[in-house]
Structure 1
Amino acid sequence: MVKRILNDLEEGIISFLLASMTLLVFVEVILRFVFNTGLMWAQEMTLLLSAWMVLFGVSYGVKVGSHIGVDAIVRLLPRNAKRVVSAIACLLAMVYCVLIIKGSYVYLMKMRMIGLEMEDLPVQRWIAQSILVIGMLLLGFRLVQLFIRILRDKADGFSLHDESKDARGMYEAIKAEEEENKAAGGAK
């Protein structure tokens, strides 16, 4: 139940960020090109919403397997070797997350100490950019989950999006449609 609530919350936040960003850009375009005015803070807010969406989306992409990857060599390995390589990749990615979290934390604390605000928004810079730490914590959490699944033999490695499979499926669908059109045209 808690897992489902967290998943729904994560998807809801990403959806909210995307919808907010889209609506803000739409309003800004209408204001600029129809009314010859605009919102001074819209560009900065759009960039901020985009950054938050991307950094939330990175961990979500690991969870649902929507990232692409170069795994041609890994696919050739036997299952156990694939698991070892994937576990090492998880560990290296977790080290990367720790380094980014540490650097981001230092940066955010300096911004907090200095007291800088965003250029066009009355928001402290460290608060607006806190997604640097939050996003990497979420990514690290997903990597730990995957690492545990690999150790428990419930996963071979990263679930990667297979673009070539998608392309083959689209090609086959187009060919099938062409054949149907030929058959329908020949029946007349």
Structure 2
Amino acid sequence: MDRVLTRIETVIMCSAFVGAFAIGTMQVILRYVFNTGYIWTEFALVTLTIIAALTGGSRAITEGLHIRISVFADSLPRKLRAAVDFLALSITLIYCILIGYYGYLYVEFLRRTGAVSIQSGVPLWVVYGIVPFMMVLFVLRYIQRLVQLLRHGEVPGLDQHR
């Protein structure tokens, strides 16, 4: 499962980055060489950058590079630190589930109302659908981390960055 998720993340991140780079380059050339441009490019560039960043966040969870405040946990004995890690991972997992769920509800609202982007004409539910989709990746990654913690008493990646 880890390899499949990693491949999915890699494809999404690389595609979004290459797409954003291509659109950004095209827009600069059109604007400064031909004195023209497309209205939708800024919208597309921001959307692709957000996709790449959120996918990078999922990868950061895998590598133990996500943002953590570990000053307190670092001073604890190993077993107690594992309990604190479990609590922190569990709370973060619940948070991601809630963001994904409420993000999904908002996407459904946008779909029902038929809201579209003024800049691009793209239905907004398509763009905002990025959040619940990415939260699924985050949830799967946090579940993996919790399973690793329960099996090994520590999470690879978390302890090496302390």
Q: Tell me the SS of whatever aligns to 1:155.
A: coil
Equivalent residues in 2 for 1:16-55, closer than 5 Å: 16-55=15-54
8 Å CA contact 2:115, 2:123 repeated in 1: yes
CA contact (8 A) 2:65 2:157 kept: no
**SS of equivalent residue, structure 1 residue 96:** helix
Contact kept in structure 2, 1:31 and 1:37, CA below 8 Å: yes
Per-residue deviation, 1:156:
4.0
Counterpart of 1:150, as a letter, is L
Q: Confirm or deny: 8 A CA contact 1:14 1:56 kept in the other structure.
A: yes
Distance 2:29 2:60 in 1: 33
User: Residues 160-171 of structure 1 correspond to what in structure 2 (within 5 A)?
Assistant: 162=161
Aligned to 1:138: 137
CA contact (8 A) 2:82 2:153 kept: no
Decide whether the 8 Å contact of 1:67 with 1:160 is kept in 2: no
1:83–1:157 Cα contact (<8 Å) kept: no
- Give the drift of 1:119: 1.8
Q: CA deviation at 1:66?
A: 2.6
Instruction: Give the drift of 1:103.
Output: 1.3
Unpaired runs of 5+ in structure 2?
A: none
SS at match of 1:45: helix
TM-score (norm 2): 0.90
Instruction: State whether residues 6 and 59 of structure 2, in contact with CA within 8 Å, keep that contact through their aligned partners in structure 1.
Output: no
- Matching residue's letter, 1:97: C
After superposition, give the CA deviation of every residue in 1:54-110 in whole Å (9 maximum; x if it has no partner).
Answer: 222211110122324321221111111111000000110011112111211111111
3-state DSSP of counterpart to 2:39: coil
Larger Rg: 1
Query: For residue 149 of structure 1, what is the amino acid of its counterpart?
Result: Q
Structure 1 pair 24–154 and aligned structure 2 pair: CA distance change class (3 A): farther
1:98-117 equivalences under 5 Å are 98-117=97-116
Say what the alpha-carbon RMSD is for the aligned residues.
2.0
Using the aligned pairs only, state the percent identity: 27
Match of 1:174 in 2: none
> Per the alignment, do residues 95 and 158 of structure 1 end up closer, same or farther by CA in structure 2, a change over 3 Å counting?
farther
In structure 1, stretches of 5+ residues that fail to align are 166-188
Residue in 2 that maps onto 1:58: 57
